[in-house]
Amino acid sequence: MRGIRRALMKILVLVPLAIFASVVAIGPGNLVSYAPAARVGVHSVIAFWISIPTALGVLAFQEKRSQTNLWLMSALSFPMVVHIGSAALNLFRDPESLIIRALPDTVSDMFELALLSTLLAGACVSIGRDSDNQEQKIPALLLTPILLLIPLTIFGGIWILVLPLLTFESLIALSSLFGIIAVSGFLVSSVFVLRFRDTEPPIDAGFFVSSTLLFAASGIALMLTAFTPLLNWEFAETLQMASYLLLALALGVPFLKRAGFRRRTAYGIIIGLILMAYLPFLITIVIESSPLPLEIPPNLLAYSIIHIGAASLSAMMAILLYIYPKNKTSWNQYPLIYVFGMWCGIAIIQVFLLLFPSIAPLGEPITPYNVVSLLTFGLLYLFVIWTKHPPIDREETPSLFRLALGLTGLITAIIAGEAINQLVLISNPSLSGNPASNTLILVTNLFIMFAFAYIIFLLSEDSNGEAPVELYVILFLAMWILPNILKSYYTIWTAGWWVSEFLLFIGLLSGPLVFTWLYVRTMHEVEESHRRANMYADLLMHDVSNYNQMMMMSMELLGSHEIPEEQRTRLADDGRQVISFSEQLISNVRLLSEAEQLKTTELQPTNLVHTIVGALDLFTRRIGTGELIVEFQAEESQASVMANDLLAHIFLNILYSALECRIRGETVTIGLHETEYSGENFWQIDIKAPGRSEEQEEGFSSGTLGLLAARLMTESLNGYFEMETFARTDICEGRLFSIKLRATND
């Protein structure tokens, strides 16, 4: 019920807020531009926002070929392709003209919403079926391309062939029909998502239902547009933008949280992706609405500084990516080496062409950007393949000579493409200014942004909350891609073109910061490894030697015939405890030495009560009865958390640390209750136990190491480990451990 209340609270806040913000944006805010460049920006930002959940849908379908994932992938990919196509079509309009919407355009928008709602409803109904049935049907192989292509084919056919031929009355009737279908489909989707909370892939019900309700409101607004001039299409389009934004949050945030990222980090990554796509759109609106002149005098010096700096930064990144796999083999970084190498080459080529205009008399050529964009998309595909299926059968990684040879071939292809382009334009000047080249670079880079989103989620899936180096590299590479979107509809030396150069300059400034941060993080990891290595050496020399001496002493005393039977039993128990302490110490050293592997261990729903009971039974078998008296109280026997086999070791280490107090019959209490922390559901385990005071300990002891291992293992489970101390009347200190683990139903 807590999750339902949280979802309803999001709906009650987000839906009215989005409607109010849309009214303000198109009313007093006047954030509306009817220029073709602005329309390109609108459709581009929608295409990228919808590509975020689309990437998750594709990833989910690749991992599990179910009908739910197929419907979801089709529902999300359909509007992404439609809006990419709409952005490209606006490049063929006269840049000086204003966009005028006709009734067929409104009907086509209604038809798009109707198809989207039908596909989303199909996905949500499939979620309900998957929840009711244990056995899920695998869709037929032929059904996949059919369900992906049919919506696009139907939409394109009706939009191009049917709508222009219909009368006004027929268009009004179709608008009403499509509107009813759209609103009904979105309402059905809302009901099913609220009914089934544990979905696969994970969906935030609050964001998803808010998105579908805004889609429904957009459909109603479009229907009213056909009947009354009081409402305009800008309001409906703004609501759709808000809907796609919330849809990205609805799928992206739960996925990253399940992958191990903290709540704030998950929101930060998704919102960062959203804002990254929104930046070119916002810049376009500001430029088109500004009274300042769009033409700015050429400045070859500034252009050269920016591009030479960008080339240097790209070369540095390629070199670092080449050095990194030398210490840690990672095949997926080699395609990125080629990507940065190409962008280094194109930056130098563009400077050369502008400094020597006789070679390229038409100004900054767009063809190199097209060629590099296509090659980048292909290399990103290779990156995905080698991330999922690394060529581990190859014994040797590519040599520097082979990398240089391959990069030379790519640069040669770029130069050859521009040479052919210049020859064609010189022989046929009428082709100059043709928007086909700009369309290619726009469409390619929008699909590259989709690839970025897919790769980010692919890398995050197995990271368990620890972002790998490749993730930062991909985000950094976006600073080269975003300017290309602006250059696709702004010509050289215009305000929009200069803004794209400014974005590249910002990337240039952020480069040293990124490199410095990665270097500091690497050095910190090295220092931490050295510190742990020294600690392990001290432990193995000190504690293991002590345990060995204690064991030898117990064996010698047991061999004496003068020892009474009662003391002999006590010595045998002490020897067994020493062996158990040694086993636990060795286990902790092994676990701590494999700290990096702990961060990527797969988490599964685990019964917390059964795990605690199992740990207590194992502890009793190792130590014996009477050493500690454990009292365990749980509010619920079915407490389930996301964990793995390491969970039991957390409780074992705390119990072993309590034994170091050396007070026989000491009581340890364990309590379990559900709590909420940072807006998420957790199961909290409170353990009250004795422990050695700091005055009794010299450096690291096995108990200190055990608590360090317990903390590390808790963090590897994406939980929180806290310890408070309090005074006691004896030589020991009191300790209160609070362990929070994420509930599976969150």
The fraction of the chain above a pLDDT of 90, given in percent, is 12
Whether pLDDT at 481 is above 80:
no
Q: Tell me if 600 is assigned to some domain.
A: no
Residue 95 located in a structural domain: yes
Q: What percent of the chain has pLDDT over 70?
A: 74
Q: 424-438, 487-501, 587-601, 641-655: which range is least confident on average?
A: 587-601
Return the residue matching tokens 């606006």. 90
Interval 635-673: pLDDT, tens: 677 788 888 777 888 888 888 888 777 677 788 899 888
Per-residue three-class SS string for 85-117: HHHHHHCCCCCCCCCCCCHHHHHHHHHHHHHHH
Please tell me whether residues 391 and 455 are part of one structural domain.
yes
- Say if residue 557's pLDDT is above 70: no
Where is mean pLDDT largest: 413-422, 616-625, 716-725? Answer: 716-725
CB 413 within 8 A of CB 371: yes
Domain boundary among 593, 613, 630: 593
Does any domain span residue 390?
yes
For residues 589 and 724, membership in a common domain is answered with: no
pLDDT digits (tens, 9 = 90+) for 187-241: 999 888 877 666 667 888 889 999 999 999 999 988 888 766 545 788 888 899 9
In a shared domain, residues 62 and 93: yes
The answer on 611 and 530 residing in a single domain is no
pLDDT recorded at residue 699: 38
Question: Which residues touch 491 (CB under 8 Å, ≥6 apart)?
Answer: 363, 497
Same domain, 93 and 237: yes
729 and 621 assigned to the same domain: yes
Whether 669 is in a domain gets the answer yes
Q: Is 463 helix (H, G, I), strand (E, B) or coil?
A: coil
Residue-range definition of the domain harbouring residue 529: 501-593
Burial of 377 (0-12, 13-18, 19+ CB in 10 A): middle
Nearest to 659 by CA among 713, 699, 623: 623
pLDDT tens profile 286-322: 666 666 555 567 777 888 888 888 888 888 888 877 8
Please determine, for residue 546, whether its predicted confidence score (pLDDT) is greater than 80. no
Number of H helices, E strands in the chain: 21, 7
Residue 639 and residue 517 share a domain: no
Is residue 599 assigned to a domain? Answer: no
Residues 49 and 170 occupy one common structural domain: yes
Residue 107 belongs to domain with CATH number: 1.20.1070
Considering 236, 268, 294, which residue would you say is the last residue of a domain?
294
In a domain, residue 483? The reply is yes
The answer on pLDDT for 158 being more than 80 is yes
Q: Are the C-beta atoms of residues 86 and 78 closer than 8 Å to each other?
A: no
> What Cα–Cα distance (Å) separates residue 346 from each residue in 407, 628, 705?
12, 71, 54
701 CB contacts (<8 Å, ≥6 apart)? 543, 660, 692
Q: Which CATH number characterizes residue 717's domain? A: 3.30.565.10
Rounded distance, CA 291 to CA 520, Å? Answer: 46
Among the listed ranges 144-153, 207-216, 537-546, which one has the minimum average pLDDT value? 537-546
**Domain endpoint, select from 276, 294, 312:** 294
Do 579 and 628 fall into the same domain?
A: no
- Please check whether residue 733 is in contact with residue 727, taking contact to mean a CB–CB distance below 8 angstroms: yes
My answer on whether 357 and 319 are in the same domain is yes
| Average pLDDT over the chain, rounded to an integer | 78
Within 488-564, residue ranges assigned H as helices are: 495-558
Which range is least confidently modeled, 211-225, 415-429, 695-709?
A: 695-709
Better-predicted residue by pLDDT, 277 or 43: 43
pLDDT at 654: 86
Whether the pLDDT of residue 74 is over 60: the answer is yes
In-domain check, residue 8: yes
What is the C-alpha to C-alpha distance for residues 254 and 438, in angstroms, rounded to an integer?
37
Give the CA count within 13 Å in the CB-facing half-sphere of 32.
19
**pLDDT score of 535 more than 70:** no
Residues 318 and 286 in one domain: no
More confident residue, 381 or 628: 381
Which of 457, 452, 476, 494 has the alpha carbon at shortest distance from 314?
476
Total number of domains constituting the chain:
4
The yes-or-no verdict on residue 698 having pLDDT over 50 is no
Helical ranges in 199-262 per DSSP H? 205-225, 233-258
Q: Are residues 648 and 689 in the same domain?
A: yes
Model confidence at 431, pLDDT cuts 50, 70, 90, reads: low
Whether 700 is in a domain gets the answer: yes
